[in-house]
Amino acid sequence: MDLEVIVHRIREEFREMPGLRLTPAQATRLWGLERETCRMVIDTLVAAAYLRWTPAGSVTRAES
């Protein structure tokens, strides 16, 4: 599957569930992705300032 399509899908999941917080391991299982692909998606959304890392090592939607 195209990375751009996956990023869009994950962005929409965080939009629909604003309080969602996931560790990379949880995200990998939830989204059914390989670890490397999941990390690329997270890194892409963090770089776009859509997601942010929490001190506990989870990702959550960044505040605007």
Please, which residues have CB within 8 angstroms of residue 31's CB and are 6 or more apart in sequence? 6, 10, 38, 41
Is residue 1 pLDDT above 90, yes or no? Answer: no
pTM of the model: 0.91
How is the chain split into domains, by residue range? 3-61
DSSP state letter for 15 = H
CATH of domain 3-61: 1.10.10.10
Encode pLDDT of 40-62 as tens digits: 999 999 999 999 999 999 999 99
Sort residue 49 into left (φ over 0), alpha (ψ -120 to 50) or beta.
left
pLDDT-derived band at 63, boundaries 50, 70, 90:
confident
| CA neighbor of 30 nearest in space, from 46, 57, 48, 41 | 41
